[in-house]
Structures are given as structure tokens and as C-alpha cells.
Amino acid sequence: MLIEHYDLEVTTPPCEPGAERFNAIARFTVDISEVLPYLNATWKGAIYDHENHFLTWRGSGRTITVWPHEIAVSNLEDREEATQVVEQLVERINSTWERRTEIEPSTVKRQRLKALDIYKLLPGTNCKACGQPTCFIFASKLAVKEVDVEQCTPLFTDEYTEKREKLLALLEAAA
């Protein structure tokens, strides 16, 4: 087991005094730098900076960053959720470390998705079928994984086959 113990600090974002959402930082004494390339290989959508030793992943409306001696998580509801999310992350990191002989490590630095690149590949009808008021808002949310591409139902019709294939390839390359 790589991370056996950590100290958890739960705070409100310093830029938002009185915020109703919280951030969490789990600090540990063990250096987990060696697991980062394995996490990069297995965490779909992670952005890894090998030179500076950190990995960032966005999903479910939150940002998770892993450094050699800490994990930071944003947009948490309360201390209970912070404890639960951090515990799941520690388990995932430990599990990845235990399976490292089965994983090809990766130091590839993926690029973040850009809303405009996604928008250009959407139908552009602003039909609201996805639940968003415009295609650009949908693209912005898709770029940070707050929505799924499948929510854009017109994209999955024959009329938009070419755009769909390009968008799915773009999403896969960034993930």
C-alpha cells in the first residue's frame, strides 16, 4: 500500500468567502511521484505534467489534482463528502500502485479540450435537446465533463455522422 495515512483539511475556497461548497486537501508523508505516470495511463482525461510532477483530472463538476505529497479536490458539498471522495481517491491510487506491473506508464501530456473546438463539431442548431440553452454552452460543459456527448441527440443522426466521428475522436484523444 502506497498511501497508508493522510491528514485531511476541508476549507472554503479563499476566493469565495462564505461559499457553500468546499475544497479538500489530503496531505501525506510518503512521496507518490512514482505512481503518477501509472495514474496518467489509467485515469481517462487526466492531464499530467511529468516535469512538474502533478496530475489534474476534471469530472463530476470538480477538479482533482495529485502532487507527490498531497491530493486537492474542489467543489465538495461538505466534510462528509470530502472524506468519502478523498478515501475513494486514495484507494484508487493504492490500487493503481499495486497493479503497476500490469500497466504501461505514460508521461504523455494531453491537451485540455477547448469549448470552441467542440462547438465547431456540434450541429449548431441550439435545439436544447441536450438540456442546455445553446450549443456553445453544451460545448463548454462538455469540455469540462459536466455533460456527456450522448446528450446531444441530433449529433447521433445520419445527418451529422462526419461531425460526430470527428468529435468522438477529439474527445478520445483528449481523454
Q: Mind listing the pLDDT tens digit for each residue in 142-166?
A: 988 889 999 999 999 999 999 999 9
Average pLDDT over residues 118-140: 96
CATH number of the CATH domain containing 145: 1.10.15.40
How are beta strands 22-27 and 62-67 bridged, if at all?
unpaired
pLDDT (tens digit per residue) in 86-118:
999 999 999 999 999 999 999 988 878 899 999
Domains held by the chain: number = 2
Note the pLDDT of residue 58: 84
The owner of cell 495514474 is: 39
Is residue 35 located within the same domain as residue 69?
A: yes
The domain boundary residue, chosen from 49, 76, 102: 102
Do 133 and 82 share a structural domain?
A: no
Q: What percent of the chain has pLDDT over 90?
A: 77
109 with 53: CB under 8 angstroms?
A: no
Is residue 12 domain-resident?
Answer: yes
Q: Do residues 153 and 84 both lie within one domain?
A: no
Q: Which of 102, 133, 150 is the last residue of a domain?
A: 102
* 125 and 74 in a common domain: no
pLDDT at 60: 77
pLDDT score for 175: 57
Which domain, by its residues, includes 95? 7-102
CA distance 168 to 38: 24
pLDDT above 80 for 13: no
Q: What does the pLDDT look like over 36-79, one tens digit per residue? A: 999 999 998 889 999 999 999 987 788 999 999 999 999 999 99
Residues 6+ apart with CB under 8 A from 8: 24, 25, 26, 82, 83, 86
Domain boundary among 80, 102, 124: 102
Tracing cell 460545448 back to the chain, one arrives at 139
In a domain? residue 110: no
Residue 130 predicted with pLDDT over 80: yes
Q: What is the DSSP string of 60-95?
A: TTEEEEEETTEEEEEEESSHHHHHHHHHHHHHHHHH
The reply to whether 67 falls in a domain is yes
